[in-house]
Amino acid sequence: MPDAIPQRKVHIKTWGCQMNVYDSVRMADVLAPLGFSVSETLDDADMVILNTCHIREKATEKVFSDLGRLRALNEQRRAGGRDELIVAVAGCVAQAEGEALVERAPVVDMVFGPQTYHQLPEMVVRVLERRGERVLNTDFPVVSKFDHLPEESAGQGVTAFLSVQEGCDKFCTFCVVPYTRGAEFSRPVAQVLAEARRLVAGGAREITLLGQNVNAYHGEGPDGRVEGLGTLIRRLAGIDGLLRIRYTTSHPKDMDEDLIAAHGEVPQLMPSLHLPVQSGSNRILQAMNRKHDRDAYRRIVERLRRARPDLALSSDFIVGFPGESDRDFADTLGLVAEVTYAQAYSFKYSPRPGTPAAAETDQVPEPVKAERLQSLQQLLNAQQLAFNRACVGRTLDVLVDRAGRRPGQWSGRTPYLQAAHFSAPDDMAGDRHGRLIDVQIVEAHANSVAAVPAGEPDGRPDTAGATARAERHPV
């Protein structure tokens, strides 16, 4: 009889974008055949993976402070006669700072980048067999990891992520992604469809297609010809049981006619779109190497709204890019006022090692960045609240992905990605999880809306469950 595989636990901590969230789920899939199950806590874990983000300095600093805590924890374990945790650093900090991590943080056993986690079993076995040996694996393999990942071992639930494209060839001058994630790559259509079908069979009702430049998707189709994201979305819309499709994150330059048309034609494609512009100043857009100007962006937005008039737009903004003047910043505020956003993320420019903008001499002082961030966020928050308020009185469908704290309370997202909370007191026994429920929006908050089931006008809005949106950046 073969030896039973020892049962072990892995705790995975994820920072940054949805791509990292997806990668963490897939790392768990890769480790499952080795007897690893996921633990929500460190206490009973045998291994910890920090899946890291390098996009801004703050995100990177957090990794090093976590490593300090893990060193102390391992000392405690050693003193108490327990096995030490295997410590792995994955993701974009691992890719960018691999050697420095191995040198500066002796607690780390394993460092691997976003393109090599399909090799986790070999790495883990090496570390387990020879404790003390350290593994550094930050290659960009020629063969895609997607050809080697096992099938997903568990469903992701009602709302699932599916990575279809990775990497970036745009080289915006502030951004580390082209260096940490590598060149643009699209998964073949058949591979994406097969994964989507499995996700739906596992209970997914909404799939968000992920990519650093997801609308640059150009996967090989069944007949060998390359297909764009619009075509992929139309194919996905043919999957029975898949009620909603979203995609993130997009570059304005790759917003082609077919994809824009899909917004008007595919009912499953939700009317919300994250289309980062970063700045409203032509001078800064050029210095950022964004490959589009302010007018080109406005025209794309116009075309999108012609295809789908109720489209809820979202964006990323950077304030205090090197050389940004008061006038440039005023142009950003002007563009925001003109376009109007349902939601947005904004950041102070953070110089990243190795990127061209970090070497510029005309860096903007920190207090100026802080002041600009505050006024931009004030405007964006007001627009978000106005968008939520404009929904009051409307009937929208909510895909229920969570039960509330009390029986009969439910939460989910509207088509516009607003968090919505409602109570269904007449139907306490009915399980609404995973269902699309028509609700009437009755109250607007900054980060959510309260609703009552449509046709149940006496139901009371559920404001107790209102929570802030998760603070994740959206690449």
Interaction residues for ligand SF4, span 196-225 (CB under 6 A): 212-213
Q: Is 32 left (phi over 0), alpha (psi -120 to 50) or beta?
A: alpha
Please tell me whether the peptide bond between 395 and the residue prior to it is cis, using omega within 30 degrees of 0: no
Helix (H, G, I), strand (E, B) or coil at 154: coil
Interaction residues for ligand SF4, span 245-274 (CB under 6 A): 251
Q: 8-14 and 36-38 as β-strands: parallel, antiparallel, unpaired?
A: parallel
Identity of residue 67: L
Region of 65-73, 135-143, 170-178, 339-347 interacting with ligand SF4 (CB under 6 A): 170-178
Q: By C-beta, is 285 or 376 nearer to ligand SF4?
A: 285
Q: By C-beta, is 220 or 293 nearer to ligand 5AD?
A: 293
CB of 56 to ligand SF4, least distance (A): 12
Task: Pick what 213 binds: ligand 5AD, ligand SF4, none; C-beta below 5 to 8 Å, kind-dependent.
Answer: ligand SF4
Residue 114 as a binder of ligand SF4 (CB under 6 A): the answer is no
From candidates 170, 303, 305, 472, binder to ligand SF4 by CB under 6 A: 170
Residue 350 as a binder of ligand SF4 (CB under 6 A): the answer is no
Residue 278 as a binder of ligand 5AD (CB under 6 A): the answer is yes
66, two tokens? 């976590």
**CA angle (178 as vertex; 361, 123 as ends), nearest 5:** 125
- What span, in angstroms and rounded, lies between the C-alpha atoms of 276 and 292? 12
Region of 155-163, 165-173, 319-327, 447-455 interacting with ligand SF4 (CB under 6 A): 165-173
Q: By C-beta, is 175 or 444 nearer to ligand 5AD?
A: 175
Residue 329 as a binder of ligand 5AD (CB under 6 A): the answer is no
- What span, in angstroms and rounded, lies between the C-alpha atoms of 350 and 179? 16
Residue 354 as a binder of ligand SF4 (CB under 6 A): the answer is no
Q: CA of 266: how far to CAs of 95, 221, 235, 247, 308, in Å?
A: 38, 20, 10, 13, 10
Residue 473 as a binder of ligand 5AD (CB under 6 A): the answer is yes
Task: Pick what 467 binds: ligand SF4, ligand 5AD, none; C-beta below 5 to 8 Å, kind-dependent.
Answer: none
- What span, in angstroms and rounded, lies between the C-alpha atoms of 177 and 213? 10
Neighbours of 360 (CB within 10 A): 16
Region of 5-13, 169-177, 303-311, 376-384 interacting with ligand SF4 (CB under 6 A): 169-177
- What span, in angstroms and rounded, lies between the C-alpha atoms of 300 and 302? 5
Describe the strand order of the beta sheet including 343-348 as a list of residue ranges: 272-274, 312-319, 343-348
416, two tokens? 């516009």
Region of 83-91, 348-356, 432-440, 450-458 interacting with ligand 5AD (CB under 6 A): 348-356
Neighbours of 106 (CB within 10 A): 11
- What span, in angstroms and rounded, lies between the C-alpha atoms of 453 and 460? 9
* Residue 174 burial (10 A CB sphere; 0-12, 13-18, 19+): buried
Number of residues that bind ligand SF4 (CB under 6 A): 11
H or E segment and range at residue 248: strand 244-248
Residue number of the CB closest to ligand 5AD reads 316
Interaction residues for ligand SF4, span 176-195 (CB under 6 A): 177-178
Q: What are the contacts of 365-368 at 24+ separation with CB within 8 A? A: 368/320
CB of 172 to ligand 5AD, least distance (A): 7
Region of 234-242, 347-355, 405-413, 437-445 interacting with ligand 5AD (CB under 6 A): 347-355
Q: CA of 232: how far to CAs of 303, 422, 459, 475, in Å?
A: 20, 34, 40, 20
**Residues 6 or more apart from 471 whose CB is under 8 A from it?**
none
Taking residues 407 to 446 in sequence order and writing x for each that binds ligand 5AD by CB under 6 A, - otherwise, the string is ----------------------------------------
From candidates 66, 254, 265, 316, binder to ligand 5AD by CB under 6 A: 316
Residue 353 as a binder of ligand SF4 (CB under 6 A): the answer is no
Q: By C-beta, is 196 or 313 nearer to ligand SF4?
A: 313
Instruction: Identify the CA nearest to 284 among candidates 341, 184, 360, 379.
Output: 360
Interaction residues for ligand 5AD, span 48-67 (CB under 6 A): 55-56
Q: Are 209 and 247 in contact (CB under 8 A)?
A: yes
Task: Pick what 251 binds: ligand 5AD, ligand SF4, none; C-beta below 5 to 8 Å, kind-dependent.
Answer: ligand SF4
Residue 168 as a binder of ligand 5AD (CB under 6 A): the answer is no
Task: Pick what 168 binds: ligand 5AD, ligand SF4, none; C-beta below 5 to 8 Å, kind-dependent.
Answer: ligand SF4
321, two tokens? 């890019």
Residues forming the site for ligand SF4 (CB under 6 A)? 168, 170-172, 175, 177-178, 212-213, 251, 475
Residues forming the site for ligand 5AD (CB under 6 A)? 55-56, 174-175, 276, 278, 316, 318, 347, 349-350, 352, 473, 475
